[in-house]
């Protein structure tokens, strides 16, 4: 594997489910968090990448889709944002146990457990070699962590957004490969086609934001060990959307 990186500063978006264990059925699986933490440490130390991570909360609570929930939407979304904080702390703990400094920057103020998100501070942490973990999305209801990741990427002038999938789908297909054997994967696709074909890459708000701000996105399977390193060392896995 080459030790040259494709992009220097990136935002890695992972769903909360990426931290879960398919075998253990735990919302946060210790072995899985360890593995992801290890890969993040390696891209920091071996490739000299400045990684910022936006972690979702769907393994614990997702605002829109908890079956039977009658919780008011804004409250439900607040619960989802708090779920992301739990995941962020789990990831921080695992990364720091490996000796890599991290900072959790939360969009909802909770000074006892995380720093508040301040754009310049995020950039400073990255410049100093710390891994930044964004928690609580963008701190507003009706948004997702996909859109929050795109926003943060633009704010910190990241060169790319890496969207790690957890469902076994390893990129963007013309139809859902889980239901259609004949589905064809795109190695690369442009944002216009993603929008016009209504392809499920990320939520549309995130897609149009990346398009407007010329932020390339790589959709790849983050559950496959080694893939975070592969994407950043220039191997063409997943789908590049630009």
- Rounded Cα distance, 217 and 95, in Å: 24
Nearer to ligand UDP, 143 or 191 (CB): 143
Residues 9-68 that bind ligand UDP (CB under 6 A): 15-17, 56-58, 62-64
Least distance to ligand UDP, CB of residue 4, Å: 30
Of positions 21, 141, 177, 226, contacts ligand UDP by CB under 6 A? 141
The stretch among 27-35, 109-117, 137-145, 214-222 that binds ligand UDP (CB under 6 A) is 137-145
Q: Any contact of residue 170 with ligand UDP (CB under 6 A)?
A: no
Could you tell me how many residues of this chain bind ligand UDP (CB under 6 A)? 24
The stretch among 29-37, 38-46, 96-104, 144-152 that binds ligand UDP (CB under 6 A) is 144-152
Residue with tokens 């920091």: 44
Which residues of this chain interact with ligand UDP, rule CB under 6 A?
15-17, 56-58, 62-64, 76-77, 80-81, 83-84, 137-138, 140-141, 143-146, 148
């Amino acid at each position: 594997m080459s030790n040259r990186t494709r992009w220097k500063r990136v935002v890695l978006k992972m769903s909360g489910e990426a931290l879960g264990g398919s075998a253990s059925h735990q919302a946060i699986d210790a072995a899985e968090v360890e593995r992801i933490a290890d890969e993040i440490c390696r891209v920091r130390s071996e490739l000299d990448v400045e990684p910022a991570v936006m972690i979702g909360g769907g393994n614990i609570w997702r605002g829109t889709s908890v079956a039977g929930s009658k919780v008011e939407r804004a409250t439900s979304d607040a619960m989802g944002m708090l779920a992301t904080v739990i995941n962020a702390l789990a990831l921080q703990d695992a990364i720091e146990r490996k000796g890599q400094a991290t900072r959790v920057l939360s969009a909802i103020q909770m000074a006892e457990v995380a720093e508040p998100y301040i754009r310049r501070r995020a950039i400073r942490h990255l410049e100093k070699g710390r891994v930044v973990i964004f928690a609580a999305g963008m701190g507003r209801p009706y948004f997702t962590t996909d859109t929050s990741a795109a926003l943060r990427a633009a704010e910190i002038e990241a060169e790319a957004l890496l969207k790690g999938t957890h469902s076994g789908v390893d990129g963007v297909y013309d139809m859902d490969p889980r239901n259609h054997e004949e589905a064809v994967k795109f190695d690369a696709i442009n944002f216009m086609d993603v929008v016009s074909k209504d392809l499920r890459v990320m939520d549309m708000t995130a897609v149009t934001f990346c398009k407007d701000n010329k932020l390339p996105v790589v959709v790849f399977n983050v559950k496959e060990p080694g893939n975070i390193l592969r994407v950043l060392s220039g191997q063409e896995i997943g789908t590049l959307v630009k």
